[in-house]
Amino acid sequence: MLHRHAEGEPVDRVLHALADPNRRVIVERLSHGPATVSELAQPLPMSLSAVVQHLQVLQVSGLVRSEKVGRVRTCRIDPAALRPVERWIDERRLSWERSFDRLGEYLAAENDEPNGGKR
Which backbone phi and psi does 88 adopt, to 5 degrees? Answer: -60, -45
In this structure, the strands spanning 35-36 and 64-69 are unpaired
pTM of the model: 0.74
* Sign of the alpha-carbon torsion through 93, 94, 97, 103: negative
Question: What pLDDT score was predicted for residue 67?
Answer: 96
Q: What is the pLDDT along the chain (119 residues), one digit of tens a residue?
A: 344 544 458 999 999 999 999 999 999 999 999 999 999 999 999 999 999 999 999 999 999 999 999 999 999 999 999 999 999 999 998 888 887 778 888 888 888 876 655 65
